[in-house]
Structure formats: structure tokens, C-alpha cells
Amino acid sequence: MNVKKKILIIGGAGYIGIEMSKDLIKEGHLVHSLDNLIYGQKKPVILNRNFKFFLGDICKKKTFINLLNNEYDLIVMLAGLVGDPITKKYKKISEKINTKANLNFIKEIQKKKNCKKFIFVSTCSNYGLVNKKVKIKETFPLAPLSLYAKSKVKIEKFLMKKKKDFSPTILRFATAFGYSERMRYDLTINQFVMELFFKKKIEVYDFDTWRPYCHIKDFSRIISKILNSPKKKTDYQVFNVGNDQNNFSKKKIAFKIKNYLGGEIKLLKKSYDKRNYIVNFSKLKKQLQFETKYTVDQGIKQIIKKLKNENKMFMQLSKQGNYILKKK
């Protein structure tokens, strides 16, 4: 049985962070969540004595410095403008948060030396455009195409410089899907389900590009696994997080969803997003004995069920995502 641990999630009110908080609380852990609610989302309400939310901005040291006086078993870094479109739209803010503020926050953690483990959530987008149909391992050369991925690579390089009394792990997440209290319908699977559900048709750009996908519940599970694994297996390690079986082309994803909802699919070759990569996740299984549980089909059915029960209009839901910053 796992012993109760104290965890701090930076960016804990986002799409992944809020569900991760709830999942870790269910395991009996004490969770602190820090977020600046930059997208205008509501403050997370989790009615549990093991949860505490802190409104703070990692760009402003005075808003979080007291929090770091606590001793934590684990700090998870999720903070940042997430996704290619939003970082392209707000370039200066993206650089400020995703690179400078992240680096400064990490340096502060290293200085305090009161964090037993640190997880930096990175992305498989770091691999960029890979024309060969090979499954990419963690050692594959990084070639980020977007500002978002470039910032992740910069932080990764910094973290791999060994420091005394600091235990980082880098997790390169596959493209997320699944339902969250702070929902994002700007992610491929979530968006395709919503559009076919309401509009009965979707336009699929760059339909022959490949990507791995991972349910947000599995992201919570890998955080828990790292938390409870020996440091010799996780310190200064990089892991791709996903499952070989969830590597799909965008065309394949669209037709999977059509199997449940019907509708029309229009395939377009317009070069909107050049990323293309098929990822190998064997290190996760071999080194940590970890495998994801949730399939793409399970995620599709989950979102369809939520859409049926929510009784909301398309225009309401289509605005749920990382589109516009409410705070700058």
C-alpha cells in the first residue's frame, strides 16, 4: 500500500492538472495546486481536506516563494501555454512563461533542496517531423518545430545537467485525449468527436500524419508510478509516455470516431501541421513495468457520453480549449 505523500502540481487547474489532482487525492495523497487561471477558467473546487489550491503566477516570485518553503515528496511541472496554436498567437508571453519562468522556478527548487522528486512534463512534439516509419525511442534526435516544443527542449537540456540533491524525471507525453472538468476541445480526438457529434462532418487536415495518443487518466497513473519508484530508476531519466497501440494517423482517428457517430469526413492535404512521428514506449514498460490502460476507443465513448449528458450547444463547447488568454 502506498504511503501518503505531499505533492505540488504547478499548473494544477488545467486540462490535465485538475484530473491529476483528483486522481492523486483518491490515492490518499496530500495535493497542493498552484495556478494563475490564465485562460479564465474557474478556480478548481475539490471538496477534500487533502487538497489546497493556491492562486499564483510562476512569473512572479512573490506569489509562490512561500509555497516552496514546504517540503514536498514530489513537484510536477505542468505550467505553461500548452499547444502550438496558443504559443504562436502569444509569442512573447509564451517565451516568458514556458521558458524563462519555468527555468527560474526550477532554479528556485534546486536552491531550496526540499523537493524529493521533480517531474517535468514535456512532449513527444519534440521529435518534430520524422519521415521514416520508425518507432522513435527517447534517444532519437530532437527536432522541435513549434515554439511550444522548442521551449520544452530548452528545459530538458537544463534539467539533464546534474545537480546535487535534485532528482528530476522528464516525461514526454503523447497527445492527450479524454474528458476533464476543465475540458479542451482543441485537441485532435476531443475536437473530432465534438464536431462529428454536432455538425456531422469534419475536415481533417494533414490526414496522413501520425501521432501517439494517451488518455489523461494514464498521465495520472505514470505520475503515481514515478512517485513510488526507486530513484535509481527515475533520476535524470527521460520517458516517452503512451502506448505503441495508440499510434495513429489523423485519418485513422477520424474514421474510428465515425464508426460511433456516422457523418462525413473530408480529407485535406493542406500543410497546416507538419509534425509526424510514431513513438516507441518500450522503455516505460521495461524500466518501470508500466503500461497505459485506456484505449482511444474508450476515450471516444467517454466523450460521446459526456456530450449526450451535458446538454450544451456546439458554440459553448467549441470555446473550451487553449484559445484565448484572459490574463496577460
For the stretch 109-127, pLDDT in tens is: 999 989 999 999 999 999 9
What DSSP state is assigned to residue 124?
G
Of 135, 138, 168, nearest in space to 244 by CA: 135
Task: Average the pLDDT over 7-19 and give the result.
Answer: 97
Task: Average the pLDDT over 49-65 and give the result.
Answer: 92
| Residue 75 within a domain | yes
| Residue 322 within a domain | no
Count of structural domains, the chain:
1
For the packed helices 216-227 and 17-26, what is the interaxial angle rounded to 10 degrees?
50
Q: In this structure, what CATH number is given to the domain that contains residue 255?
A: 3.40.50.720
The string of pLDDT tens digits covering residues 204-259 is 999 999 999 999 999 999 999 999 999 999 999 999 999 999 999 999 999 999 99
| Residue 216 within a domain | yes
The Cα 112–Cα 92 span in angstroms is 29
The residue that leads in pLDDT, 68 or 318, is: 68
| Residue 328 within a domain | no
Query: Do 79 and 15 touch, CB atoms closer than 8 A?
Result: no
Residue 192, C-beta contacts closer than 8 angstroms, at least 6 positions apart: 202, 204, 253, 254, 257
Using only C-alpha atoms, the chain has a radius of gyration, in whole angstroms, of 19
Residue 211, C-beta contacts closer than 8 angstroms, at least 6 positions apart: 124, 174, 175, 188, 247, 248, 249, 250, 275, 276, 277
| Residue 46 within a domain | yes
| Residue 325 within a domain | no
Q: Which secondary-structure segment (H or E) carries 122?
A: strand 118-123
Q: What percent of the chain has pLDDT over 90?
A: 82
Beta-bridge partners for 73: none
* Local confidence band at 2 (pLDDT 50, 70, 90 cut-offs): low
What nine digits make up the cell of 295? 484505449
| Residue 327 within a domain | no
Residue 262, C-beta contacts closer than 8 angstroms, at least 6 positions apart: 196, 200
The string of pLDDT tens digits covering residues 69-80 is 999 999 999 999
pLDDT the model gives residue 327: 63
Check pLDDT > 60 for residue 1. Answer: no
pLDDT the model gives residue 313: 73
* Local confidence band at 29 (pLDDT 50, 70, 90 cut-offs): very high
pLDDT the model gives residue 315: 65
DSSP track, 193-262: HHHHHHHSEEEEETTT-EEEEEEHHHHHHHHHHHHTS-HHHHTTEEEEES-GGGEEEHHHHHHHHHHHH-
The Cα 216–Cα 176 span in angstroms is 6
| Residue 1 within a domain | no
**Residue whose cell numbers read 518507432:** 135
Check pLDDT > 80 for residue 284. Answer: yes
- How many residues are recorded in the chain? 328
The residue that leads in pLDDT, 321 or 61, is: 61
Indicate the pTM of the whole model: 0.95
pLDDT the model gives residue 273: 81
The Cα 294–Cα 296 span in angstroms is 7
Range of the domain at 123: 6-317
Check pLDDT > 90 for residue 281. Answer: yes
Of 175, 152, 174, nearest in space to 94 by CA: 152
pLDDT the model gives residue 270: 75
How high is the mean pLDDT of the chain? 93
The Cα 103–Cα 77 span in angstroms is 11
